[in-house]
Structure 1
Amino acid sequence: MSVFLPLLESAADSALVDALGRIGPVIVPSLVQVPVSDTCGRYILFDHDSSFDLDKVVDFLDGGAEKVIIPVSWAKEIAGTLPADRILLLLDVANVSAVTDKIREGVSGVLIKTPALDLDLISSVMRFFSDSSVYVLPTTLESPSQSTIRKILGAKAALVLPTSQLTLGASTKDQINVGEAFVSALTSDRRDGLFATVVSSYPQGGKSLGLVYSSVESIKESIVTGKGVYQSRKHGLWRKGETSGATQDVVHIFLDCDSDAIEFSVIQHGSGFCHLNRLSCFDDLYGLSALERTLQSRLSSAPEDSYTKRLFNDQSLLRSKIMEEADELCHAETKEDVAFEAADLLYFAMTRCVAAGVSLADIERSLDKKAKKVTRRPGNAKPQFAPKAAQPTSVYSVAAPAANGKPNGADNDFIRMRTFDLSVISKVERSQLLRRPVLKSDEMISKVKPIVDEVRDRGDTALLEFTAKFDKVNLSSPVLHTPFPDETTQIEENVRQAIDKAYANIRKFHEAQAENSTLKVETMPGVVCSRFARPIARVGLYVPGGTAILPSTALMLGVPAQVAGCQEIVIATPPKSDGSVSAEVMYVAKLVGASTVLKAGGGQAVAAMAYGTQTVPKVDKIFGPGNQWVTAAKMLVQNDTDALVSIDMPAGPSEVLVIADSTSNPDFVAADLLSQAEHGIDSQVVLVAVNLTSSELDAVEKAVDLQAKALSRVDIVRQSVAKSIIVKTSSVEEAVKFSNDYAPEHLILHLKEASQAVSLVQNAGSVFVGPYSPESCGDYASGTNHTLPTNGYARQFSGVNTLSFQKHITSQEVSADGLKVLGPIVATLADCEGLDAHANAVRIRLRQILN
């Protein structure tokens, strides 16, 4: 653990930041806007006010950040997904109890914010986070000092100091010198107070250059200047290379485990560290370091006719030799042959590096950065070295759409999905496949709140103003009340027949769901408990307008409301450009017994139904899908006690997940994928392939491309498909497990034994079984409801059904004989909780019964 952790503030001096980087990691708040490329070796702090963004966390870790510091709410999402040794937990004193065992096991330590230094609190945190790093950030620390740092170190923790409390100059009341802070932990058993110092070369595998001594003053100067400065026992401060020119750049200064010795990791210049003009006082270079030095020397001084000089001058020869030696290494069989061929390959590879000005230090830095990545490419060879079918795309190398809306790539015109293989991707990459686009609900709620507030406060006036602004329609009244004029419900005969048949199927299925009987249970003699259903009196149904007319949504919401017996049904839908409402939606409104049609969309329609206006009835529950404005407004009003309204479920973009094996029809599979992709550019489309060969997958992809280009909404499909994925699996069980983790809105099973796979399904909005059960049937007319949970909420929510429009009330009836048995139990429990009036309500009755 570090002696202390600096917390970077935006106004920090660059020289101070450089100096701090020599003695350990620096905490960088994510809001400081430091580029990912500049965060290598640092700790990135995501404070409580940061919006959750797993991709951003991964980007920082991939970019070389040593650790990320995240709040508890984030840890609930991340724990177990990212490596624990790269995560620290940000805790306030008040939320220590919110840490679960899963969170504790998913992090390597904790940064605790506390108003004041409390050693008892630190000790209790240490006990809970045993074997973990603990850092303490007191929010009211006014006078940083060595004694404060030592006190925290004595508790096996480390102090966090903002850069405003650190200085490269002399310590003051408000600031402590960086060097003095660093040596706070150092102890010396020498009479002269010096510290044994090992000097090692960076990189050269950390090769020891020599043993010297340091003092507080020499350490302070090294930290500030970045040069090797030590303490000579005879001559005082020794600035290495001051006379010889063999200077050192200090990369890092480390404490040993006992805090009584230090190590300087340096880049040695000139003839070397030793007075005998060698790199090291112990021996000379060997291995790769010796090879690098030799090649660097030969680059400038090799004879023109030497082989090494020829390699430097002839890049095609060097390239050929690298490929030749790589091939020989691949074919080597014995241990000796592998070592021999690897040595040859390394020689030619190092020649290539030296010719390009690349050092071993550069290579090691690159290796260290790669090692910090938490995502991995699948690792497959390039096309010229492996079959094309073996090339799944990396999670983090997705081609973005070009300006023309088509995905970038070798063939911009081909509409294709991205492919991943569960057998070769990492756990982190798999978790990324399960994620949807981040819905920044807080931002949307803040944007929609002024609209909601205006409608709540000004009613119809605000509602009409927003309709004019957003829908470009000037209305005299925002509503239509029953009886609806006949001309508003006139539709084509074939459409009417289709709606009537769909209505009959949907009603039949939803009537079977209704609970009309009372559940009665005698829990003990004389004690009868009951539960009965009652309809929600007033409901609001939001039917989107947007890019499509959706009478089907009016059916799916209106029929169960009608079946449940809701007294008042309000349908809200955006008006057309002429101020009217789609005749198909109006026909359904009449069919399901709606009392009011609200000609408004967006957050203003939700607000009108939630609070009521001069003409819009207030409702008790709001149902229906919509865009981000509608979703945010629903979330906002359900949390407002003035509204006293609930909502059906959170909503996100439309989704479909198709599981297909070799028996599937590629044209059917493609059609099912596209039926969801056409909803919008943010639609989520997933194909889970069970042991499909490359040719079988190609057939699906070609069918997707061919069918997509024949669609009227091809521009939307082109963008949504480019962001969609194919996931290759090895069994039906593995495929369904991935689907359960994804929890799709729609799940389609194109399998040989599709009906048998249904028993494996745990999380899905609605399941479509077999080749002749397209999702379209459920969307329109089979009878099931199409208002389903999206965004992974199928883990917790059911789709809309008749019970969604009912509430359940319980009752109990206790006889005198029943109270004789139940009463003493209740009184005892009331006494236990100290609620005397509860106990008295029972005992007063028991006394009358017993007397």
Structure 2
Amino acid sequence: MPAAVFLPLVDPTAAALIPALALIGPLLVPAGLLSAVRPSIPPTGSYIVDATGSSNDLVAILNDGAQAVVVSAAQLETLDVPRERIIVSIAENEVAAAASLSHKAAGVLITSAEGTHTAKSLGLQNTDVYLQLKTLPAADALVESVRTSLPSTLVIPTASLTTGVTTSTHLSIADAFLAPVVSDRPDGLFPTIVSSSTHSSRPLGMVYSSRESVAEAIKSQKGVYQSRKHGLWRKGETSGSVQDLVAIQLDCDTDSLVFEVVQHGTGFCHLGTPTCFGSFTGLARLEDTLKSRLQSAPEGSYTQRLFTDEKLLRAKIMEEAEELCDAQTKEEVAFEAADLFYFALTRAVSKGVSLKDIELALDAKGKKVTRRKGDAKPKWEEKVASPAAPAPAAPAPSATASGSIRMRTTKLSEVPQNERPALLKRPVLNSLAMIDKVKPIVERVRNEGDAGLKAMTKQFDKAELSSNVQRAPFPTPGEDVLPKVVRDAIDQAYANVKAFHAAQVDPAPLRVETMPGVVCSRFARPIQRVGIYVPGGTAILPSTAIMLGVPAQVAGCKEIVLATPPRPDGSISPEVLYVAQLTGVTTILKAGGAQAVAALAYGTAEVPKVDKIFGPGNQWVTAAKMLVQNDTDALVSIDMPAGPSEVLVIADATANPVFVASDLLSQAEHGVDSQVVLVGISLTPDHLSAIEAEVERQALALPRVEIARVAISKSLIVLADSLAEGMAFSNEYAPEHLILHLADAPGAVATVENAGSVFVGAFSPESCGDYASGTNHTLPTNGYARQFSGVNTLAFQKHITSQEITKEGLSVLGPVVVTLAEREGLEAHANAVRVRLHELNK
């Protein structure tokens, strides 16, 4: 425990002084006065209990919040609590025993005649010394006693203290506290950091204090400082932004102070901001936002709904807690923890609980020296041991082993219309929250260029690179790293994808004569510089390199930059390297995540800037793409907001459970944030149970079973009574991949309105589209199939229009244009036609 400048010993008459004394450190409270004094000590205050000779339960005193207890040597022998919570009391004639006792206690309290003992003189290490003088000098001389006793701490009875000025009988609390403080400034002022008791994320500002201002601050328990121009400065006296003083501390060199305050009003800074260093961040900013929303949330906002719907908030807290438990990577854990913090703090704010209240509760828990066993309550142990039962409307599942792999089930006809949107939500956070997270990464690449990119590649991919890029021509991987069978498979996939995408190229410019003498044309030109993002992480994806590289090659893009995370040795996987060679990639960027997107968008000394970025990725990649496309400095577009992979399978009574389960798992193994949905059309309980059993059986045989387990736990079975009802749900969900296991799958295609790609019939697995059938597997996710197409050749081109008008054509069209331009008040437009018509009429 840190030593205080002095330690006030509370007596029965000290009630009025306790709030002021609690500002500057712990109080020493006799055990007999504890019950009377404790209510007067502020929640932020601390106290030490003098329990020498007391019969009180010392462990209970510590559990109840005491910072430490003072005990006799005899009591010390029987007390089994952490050393840092014990101070042993010894008489001056027993100081020789101090060293032998110090290994059991963090401090020694010595009753002394003159107070000359220090830890060094007593041969103590890591032990605080408290001196209780048998006879106190006059109060005005006590200041010197406090100073000369340092680094030991002088115990001063509260009967000798006052919040007023020092006299011969009473010592000013401020004078005692400031006794060791020195200033190296000509004006004698002390630099003072002001921090928020409720927002610990950053200081409020830096000011100056004097002995007079500190005395006034302690006496009034308000923020009072010394203005270098205007003298004593009572913060907020004119603006209303007053401060309640919570604590004052000295720094380790005793030449500066910290004031911990509760800030009221608009904020600390004269500019009206919360701090002189900008706004709060993190949890502090979130707490302020939630408090504001509690008072005046926008009508219909999600936060307002959370405040008014306790059932929803309760469900979200439990849902996010489970997702945090399921998270595996560092990024996923941080992501899910942030989500849980949001909902937990919403709950706290709704009940009037602040972050400071939570911190105080944590501190109180930290002071307990005895704890319960800490096992989970039975209902939660049972929940972890076996999956939750499905909703009552769903068919009863067959018994499964502990830790089984199951999807949630709901019957569509029994879900109220206002709850249907919840079924459409993917297990991802909102894009605005993710964009806030990727901004610092993107800005670092913009500001630091190649150096920042290398640093993040080392941090995230564990690869230390001499260069961020590798330029064509690329070496052909040998058969030792890329066997012939793999190369042949890549070659076949490349040929199929190229054939399908080459057929998409416009055979000739579009040419239409809209009226005699007026010919309008449209012709395609390739986007000159494109970036294609190939994820790495938990899987090697040469297939994505094919799906993006081929249309770029077919479209005729002159510069193709392929970004992909390097392996720890700095190399690129041979599969991706081979595809880069096949598809005419000009540069490989050895980076992944948001930092790769930023490098493609803005360019660096090594990395060429591109005009459009393509490719799927996790939530970080998707958010970075959305961020840079809206930055006019980047002047870059994106293919689509392609995020975590997803599949929706529609199955009727003719579906093979083995096939259905395999299709669900083909996407679930992509990542823990993938989602799979099964829409069952009039399935019997037995048929549904057979599919669920197959999902578990096949999943347990997968090497990526743990990833599939998490993805499946977040996924959904929707039971529909008819194909029309099931297809309507699918069109609203707008899946990335739609697989039709139906008696008449080809006939159902006509009813598909929203989907990235459709797989028709039992023998059209999604895997074929992912790898080699010819269609593209880079598809819109998260419901964006309502607005976006999947990647295709035209996505790598832009279309330019032209018009050619003859004299005869203008003579007919011109008057129409003049009339419309005049109607819009654009005379220059009209004039450009008039002068030509005038020439024709000569």
Please classify the TM superposition score into its range, dividing by the shorter chain length. 0.5 to 0.7
1:56 matched to 2:336? The reply is no
Question: What pairs with 1:60-75 in structure 2 (closer than 5 Å)?
Answer: 60=310
Match of 1:838, as an amino acid?
H
Correspondence for 1:46: 297
Secondary structure of 1:514 counterpart: coil
Correspondence for 1:688: 679
Correspondence for 2:644: 653
1:469 matched to 2:720? The reply is no
1:548 matched to 2:799? The reply is no
Runs of 4+ in 1 over 3 A off after TM superposition: 29-35, 42-45, 50-64, 409-412, 486-490
1:843 matched to 2:797? The reply is no
Deviation at 1:51, TM superposition (A): 8.2
Q: Which runs of 5+ in 1 are unaligned?
A: 1-9, 13-28, 36-41, 65-387, 395-406
Whole-Å Cα distance in 1 between the matches of residues 478 and 508 of structure 2? 38
**1:755-802 deviation line (CA, Å, top 9, x unaligned):** 000000000000001111111000000000000000000000000001
Correspondence for 2:484: 493
Whole-Å Cα distance in 2 between the matches of residues 574 and 478 of structure 1? 10
Q: Is the 8 A contact 1:526 1:818 kept in 2?
A: yes
**1:709-748 deviation line (CA, Å, top 9, x unaligned):** 1111111111111111111111111111110010000000
Instruction: Quickly say closer, same or farther: Cα 1:785–1:56, change in 2 above 3 A.
Output: farther
2:443 maps to which of 447, 450, 453 = 453
Whole-Å Cα distance in 2 between the matches of residues 777 and 437 of structure 1? 26
1:742 maps to which of 733, 748, 753 = 733
Match of 1:392, as an amino acid?
A
Instruction: Quickly say closer, same or farther: Cα 1:433–1:11, change in 2 above 3 A.
Output: farther
Instruction: Quickly say closer, same or farther: Cα 1:820–1:422, change in 2 above 3 A.
Output: same
Q: Is the 8 A contact 2:476 2:578 kept in 1?
A: no
Whole-Å Cα distance in 1 between the matches of residues 286 and 310 of structure 2? 9
Q: Is the 8 A contact 1:44 1:60 kept in 2?
A: no
Q: Is the 8 A contact 1:506 1:783 kept in 2?
A: yes
Deviation at 1:438, TM superposition (A): 4.6
Q: Is the 8 A contact 2:669 2:708 kept in 1?
A: yes
Whole-Å Cα distance in 1 between the matches of residues 555 and 638 of structure 2? 16
Whole-Å Cα distance in 1 between the matches of residues 836 and 303 of structure 2? 59
Deviation at 1:47, TM superposition (A): 3.9
Q: Is the 8 A contact 1:516 1:533 kept in 2?
A: no
1:624 maps to which of 611, 615, 618 = 615
Whole-Å Cα distance in 2 between the matches of residues 57 and 787 of structure 1? 39
Instruction: Quickly say closer, same or farther: Cα 1:55–1:711, change in 2 above 3 A.
Output: farther
1:761 matched to 2:752? The reply is yes
Secondary structure of 1:656 counterpart: strand
Correspondence for 1:612: 603
Deviation at 1:512, TM superposition (A): 0.8
**1:97-134 deviation line (CA, Å, top 9, x unaligned):** xxxxxxxxxxxxxxxxxxxxxxxxxxxxxxxxxxxxxx
Question: What pairs with 1:760-779 in structure 2 (closer than 5 Å)?
Answer: 760-779=751-770
Deviation at 1:683, TM superposition (A): 1.1
Correspondence for 2:552: 561
Q: Which runs of 5+ in 2 are unaligned?
A: 1-262, 266-284, 315-388
Correspondence for 1:430: 420
1:504 matched to 2:495? The reply is yes
Secondary structure of 1:657 counterpart: strand
Whole-Å Cα distance in 1 between the matches of residues 477 and 294 of structure 2? 67
Correspondence for 1:103: none
Instruction: Quickly say closer, same or farther: Cα 1:768–1:641, change in 2 above 3 A.
Output: same
Whole-Å Cα distance in 2 between the matches of residues 458 and 550 of structure 1? 29
**1:526-545 deviation line (CA, Å, top 9, x unaligned):** 11111111111110000011
1:479 matched to 2:469? The reply is yes
Match of 1:46, as an amino acid?
A
Deviation at 1:634, TM superposition (A): 1.1
Whole-Å Cα distance in 1 between the matches of residues 522 and 497 of structure 2? 26
Whole-Å Cα distance in 2 between the matches of residues 604 and 822 of structure 1? 52
Correspondence for 1:257: none
Instruction: Quickly say closer, same or farther: Cα 1:429–1:812, change in 2 above 3 A.
Output: same
1:820 matched to 2:811? The reply is yes
Whole-Å Cα distance in 1 between the matches of residues 657 and 308 of structure 2? 36
Correspondence for 2:576: 585
**1:233-266 deviation line (CA, Å, top 9, x unaligned):** xxxxxxxxxxxxxxxxxxxxxxxxxxxxxxxxxx
Secondary structure of 1:540 counterpart: strand
1:513 matched to 2:514? The reply is no
**1:782-823 deviation line (CA, Å, top 9, x unaligned):** 000000000000000000001110100000011111111111
Secondary structure of 1:541 counterpart: strand
Deviation at 1:467, TM superposition (A): 1.3
Instruction: Quickly say closer, same or farther: Cα 1:751–1:542, change in 2 above 3 A.
Output: same
Deviation at 1:32, TM superposition (A): 7.0
Q: Which moved more, 1:520-529 or 1:425-434?
A: 425-434
Whole-Å Cα distance in 2 between the matches of residues 734 and 635 of structure 1? 33
Q: Is the 8 A contact 1:510 1:801 kept in 2?
A: yes
1:634 matched to 2:635? The reply is no
**1:454-492 deviation line (CA, Å, top 9, x unaligned):** 322332222212211221111111111111133589511
Secondary structure of 2:414 counterpart: coil
Q: Is the 8 A contact 2:679 2:717 kept in 1?
A: yes
Secondary structure of 1:659 counterpart: strand
Secondary structure of 2:511 counterpart: strand
Q: Is the 8 A contact 1:624 1:648 kept in 2?
A: yes
Correspondence for 1:444: 434
Whole-Å Cα distance in 2 between the matches of residues 605 and 63 of structure 1? 37
Instruction: Quickly say closer, same or farther: Cα 1:34–1:593, change in 2 above 3 A.
Output: closer
Q: Is the 8 A contact 1:30 1:44 kept in 2?
A: no
Q: Is the 8 A contact 2:297 2:304 kept in 1?
A: no
Deviation at 1:449, TM superposition (A): 2.0
Instruction: Quickly say closer, same or farther: Cα 1:792–1:842, change in 2 above 3 A.
Output: same
Whole-Å Cα distance in 2 between the matches of residues 62 and 552 of structure 1? 41
Q: Is the 8 A contact 2:469 2:590 kept in 1?
A: yes
Match of 2:520, as an amino acid?
C
RMSD across aligned positions (CA): 3.1
Match of 2:469, as an amino acid?
V
Secondary structure of 2:777 counterpart: coil
1:414 matched to 2:404? The reply is yes
Q: Is the 8 A contact 1:30 1:46 kept in 2?
A: no
**1:44-87 deviation line (CA, Å, top 9, x unaligned):** 74349x985698378358689xxxxxxxxxxxxxxxxxxxxxxx
Whole-Å Cα distance in 2 between the matches of residues 596 and 613 of structure 1? 13
**1:177-224 deviation line (CA, Å, top 9, x unaligned):** xxxxxxxxxxxxxxxxxxxxxxxxxxxxxxxxxxxxxxxxxxxxxxxx
**1:4-37 deviation line (CA, Å, top 9, x unaligned):** xxxxxx999xxxxxxxxxxxxxxxx9967989xx
**1:568-615 deviation line (CA, Å, top 9, x unaligned):** 111010000111000000000000000111111112211111122112
Secondary structure of 2:413 counterpart: coil
Deviation at 1:419, TM superposition (A): 1.1
Instruction: Quickly say closer, same or farther: Cα 1:53–1:717, change in 2 above 3 A.
Output: farther
Match of 1:712, as an amino acid?
P
1:782 matched to 2:773? The reply is yes
Match of 1:468, as an amino acid?
K
Instruction: Quickly say closer, same or farther: Cα 1:613–1:31, change in 2 above 3 A.
Output: closer
Question: What count of residue pairs does the alignment treat as equivalent?
Answer: 486
Whole-Å Cα distance in 2 between the matches of residues 831 and 630 of structure 1? 49
1:797 maps to which of 781, 788, 796 = 788
Instruction: Quickly say closer, same or farther: Cα 1:483–1:736, change in 2 above 3 A.
Output: same
**1:546-577 deviation line (CA, Å, top 9, x unaligned):** 10000000000000111111111110100001
Question: What pairs with 1:591-606 in structure 2 (closer than 5 Å)?
Answer: 591-606=582-597
